[in-house]
Amino acid sequence: MPAVTTLADAVRTRIGAALAGTDAELARRYPGDRATRQPVHTVYVPADAFDAGTARAWGDQALAALDTHAPDPAVFGAVLGLNGELAADVYDLVRAKLRREPVEDLRIDFEDGYGVRPDAEEDAAAVAAARTVTATVADGTAPPYLGIRMKCMEAAVRDRGIRTLDLFLTTLLDGGALPDGLLLTLPKVTFPEQVAAMADLCEEFERAAGLPERRLGFEIQIETTQAILGPDGTATVPRLIDAARGRATSLHYGTFDYSAACGVSAAHQSLDHPAADHAKAVMQVAAAGTGVRLSDGSTNVLPVGSTADVHSAWRLHHGLVRRSLARAYYQGWDMHPAHLPTRYAATYAFYREGLAAATARLAAYTADSAGTADSAGAVTSAVLDEPATARALAAYLLRGLDCGALTPDELPAPTTLAALAGR
């Protein structure tokens, strides 16, 4: 017997037509996560200190710090609270990563880390940076992601920032092409109009240089209170994302500028301060579903000095990175080569500790979804996961694979993970 309904087909048609604009707006504003790798960190290096050997030098210094202050897994594990097999696995993975790919994302800094220089000096540095990027990409020694942080859009430095960006991009094109992993960072944003101006710059450069539309995107640094809460009392971050017109790739939290702007004293400026948590919660909700990613800031407590001092700094950094990961901030800034061991240790432990549970839950979810679970109705998992959580589980495992914490043979079929994660 055919199913009987009450509503006429015309009702569904009329509602569909009424919501067509909403459907289009949802698709435009919330396209979902980008189906690409996200680096676990960003390393900032002043433009005058950047050269072809920078990434390798950071890796060598990080390995030297391990050799000096944690020469074996037992010492490293004891410092960070990792036990037994996990400590050994993480230690080996960290050392291998530091030898193979010590820096995932490198930002050549023309802002706070570089300061104000004579125009001729900054011109030369911008050209030199681009030529070095071209050379390292060509010989395979460049990090997967790299680019520049220009000066901001405030009046005092605006022209200088625009010129540096133009020189850097123009020189890259003179060398052949823009690298696939190119990232540009716009700091100290206060108003959406500054983001809109950056989007205009990208559009103008693409047009003038004959580049494909939307080839250039940029990161927005959240370092001012105005970037979180506008003068009218509304949240600014969604307006910043909208002003970028699809070019915003990520939001980066600036620990120290933002803390200082909130009046937090220097001794208490940290990633785990309540002011930081509030800002990052606003960023997280605003960016959810938009494809704009998130990056936490840094700690300025450096792992230098005596072994006791290094161990203390390592424990702090490790704990802060783990805290960020648990709060879905999968990227952060690193300010010193000796931060790399704990960046990777915290990241690798985070994924390895959750590997067994995540794969078991995904297996149960997949079996239930396919109707192949126990026909007698037996519980296949202690957790009943929704489709959204299954996507999060798959994304978690893919992130672990991307950064080197996990290997393909430890995971479900890549096609299964990719399908579940929406890639």
Angle at 390 between CA 375 and CA 320, to 5 degrees: 140
Q: Is the whole model's pTM more than 0.85, yes or no?
A: yes
Please tell me whether residues 255 and 192 are part of one structural domain.
Answer: yes
User: Which distant-in-sequence residues (6+ apart) come within 8 Å of 332 by Cβ?
Assistant: 40, 41, 42, 271, 295, 296, 297, 298, 320, 321, 324, 343
- Residues 386-408, mean pLDDT to the nearest whole number: 90
Predicted pLDDT of residue 370 = 53
Please tell me whether residues 104 and 194 are part of one structural domain.
Answer: yes
Predicted pLDDT of residue 379 = 44
Does residue 3 sit within a domain? no
Please tell me whether residues 391 and 284 are part of one structural domain.
Answer: no
pLDDT band at 378 (very low <50, low <70, confident <90, very high): very low
pLDDT band at 3 (very low <50, low <70, confident <90, very high): confident
Does residue 34 sit within a domain? no
Predicted pLDDT of residue 134 = 97
Predicted pLDDT of residue 12 = 95
Predicted pLDDT of residue 381 = 57
The C-alpha atoms of residue 347 and residue 41 are separated, in whole angstroms, by 10
Please tell me whether residues 290 and 209 are part of one structural domain.
Answer: yes
Phi and psi, residue 280, nearest 5°: -70, -30
Please tell me whether residues 126 and 64 are part of one structural domain.
Answer: yes
Instruction: List the single range of 184-193, 238-247, 371-380 with lowest mean pLDDT.
Output: 371-380
In tens, the pLDDT along 289-340 reads: 999 999 999 999 999 999 999 999 999 999 999 999 999 999 999 999 999 9
The C-alpha atoms of residue 203 and residue 194 are separated, in whole angstroms, by 14
Please tell me whether residues 177 and 249 are part of one structural domain.
Answer: yes
Predicted pLDDT of residue 377 = 47
Please tell me whether residues 248 and 363 are part of one structural domain.
Answer: no
pLDDT band at 151 (very low <50, low <70, confident <90, very high): very high
The C-alpha atoms of residue 418 and residue 183 are separated, in whole angstroms, by 25
Please tell me whether residues 287 and 365 are part of one structural domain.
Answer: no
373 has pLDDT over 80: no
Does residue 4 sit within a domain? no
251 has pLDDT over 90: yes
- Residues 76-92, mean pLDDT to the nearest whole number: 96
Does residue 385 sit within a domain? yes
| Residue 48 belongs to domain with CATH number | 3.20.20.60
Please tell me whether residues 348 and 359 are part of one structural domain.
Answer: no
Please tell me whether residues 110 and 235 are part of one structural domain.
Answer: yes
- Judged on CB neighbours under 10 Å (0-12, 13-18, 19+), 227 is buried
Predicted pLDDT of residue 276 = 98
Does residue 16 sit within a domain? no
Cβ(72)–Cβ(91) below 8 Å: yes
pLDDT band at 362 (very low <50, low <70, confident <90, very high): confident
Please tell me whether residues 407 and 324 are part of one structural domain.
Answer: no
Does residue 17 sit within a domain? no
Q: How far apart are the first and last CA of the chain?
A: 41
The C-alpha atoms of residue 314 and residue 79 are separated, in whole angstroms, by 8
Domain containing 135 equals 41-353
Does residue 272 sit within a domain? yes
Does residue 15 sit within a domain? no
- Domains in the chain: how many in total? 2
In tens, the pLDDT along 48-82 reads: 999 999 999 999 999 999 999 999 999 999 999 99
The C-alpha atoms of residue 243 and residue 249 are separated, in whole angstroms, by 13
Please tell me whether residues 89 and 226 are part of one structural domain.
Answer: yes
- Residues 370-394, mean pLDDT to the nearest whole number: 66
- Residues 369-396, mean pLDDT to the nearest whole number: 67
